[in-house]
Amino acid sequence: MKSPLIVALDYADPSAALDLAALLDPSQCRVKVGKELFTAAGPRIVEQLQDKGFAVFLDLKFHDIPQTVAKACQAAARLGVWMLNVHASGGKAMLEAAREAVDAASGHRPLLIAVTVLTSLDAPALLQIGVADPVPVQVQKLADLSASAGLDGLVCSAREATQLKAAHPDLCLVTPGIRPPEHAADDQKRTMTPAAALAAGADYLVIGRPITAAADPAQALAAMLAACAVL
Ligand SMILES: O=C(O)c1cc(=O)[nH]c(=O)n1[C@@H]1O[C@H](COP(=O)(O)O)[C@@H](O)[C@H]1O
């Protein structure tokens, strides 16, 4: 599929997620199931979305001891998802354990990507958790660690896409914090417009509220696709 869009189905109610999915075309976007929806609805919602033809990014951001993350990745791979993620800050042993677990999964092999620095964090927020490096430096360190563990891609803000594409051209870059010019940043700190994110080197754009909270989500998606010039 040519479309770079991944719609974040951030709902507490599975029927709300399915209602939104019914307005979307699986040939025009992928969907993301995150912590809120998965905790409320469980693996069944992943199966339901896949049955409707959607490629699913299971965004549970695993971050735990290597054994626990490996087992969680195995379970996610068994669900048949297109992509799953872990936190790069879980460390190299955890990333390698995740890599081995996904490689060992029988049959379907999802893309395994690592979250670098959340798009809701800025330099003062990093300092509060003991990271004095500027955001792009910390992102680069976690990207390099993820690459050395053999991951398939990175979650980063589009603001770091150009530097990461240059350093790791083989890794796919998944960028949340995408905001059309007229849309509020909400709790996101490192944002970019869809077109600017693609121009910077992002491969996939994760978009939630600009579509899910729109009065007409299908129209909002169409506008987003047009902004990315992929229609
Ligand atoms: O891994 C993610 O998808 C993710 C990483 C990150 O750094 N920032 C981030 O916002 N996300 C997710 O991307 C989505 C962004 O949603 P909106 O801010 O509503 O567009 C949410 O579902 C977040 O959980």
pLDDT tens over the chain, length 231 residues:
789 999 999 999 999 999 999 999 999 999 999 999 999 999 999 999 999 999 999 999 999 999 999 999 999 999 999 999 999 999 999 999 999 999 999 778 999 999 999 999 999 999 999 999 999 999 999 999 999 999 999 999 999 999 999 999 999 999 999 999 989 999 999 999 999 999 999 999 999 999 999 999 889 988 988 888 764
Residue whose CA is at the smallest distance from ligand 1 atom 11:
176
Which CATH number fits the domain 5-228, given the four candidates 3.20.20.70, 3.40.50.720, 1.10.10.60, 3.30.710.10?
3.20.20.70
Q: Which of 82, 119, 151, 178 to mutate to test the pocket of ligand 1 (most atoms within 8 A of CB)?
A: 119
Annotated catalytic residue: which of 2, 32, 52, 61?
Answer: 61
- The 3-class secondary structure across 64-119, one letter per residue, is CCHHHHHHHHHHHHHCCCCEEEEEHHHCHHHHHHHHHHHHHCCCCCCEEEEECCCC
ipTM of the complex: 0.99
Torsion sign, CA atoms 90, 124, 195, 34 = positive
- Ligand 1 site residues (CB inside 6 A) read 8, 10, 34, 59, 61, 85, 115, 118-119, 155, 176-177, 186, 188, 206-209
Residue 61 appears among annotated catalytic residues: yes
CB 37 within 8 A of CB 12: yes
The secondary structure element, H or E, covering residue 31 is strand 30-33
Is the model's pTM score more than 0.80? yes
Q: What pLDDT is attached to residue 82?
A: 98
| Residue extents of the structural domains in the chain | 5-228
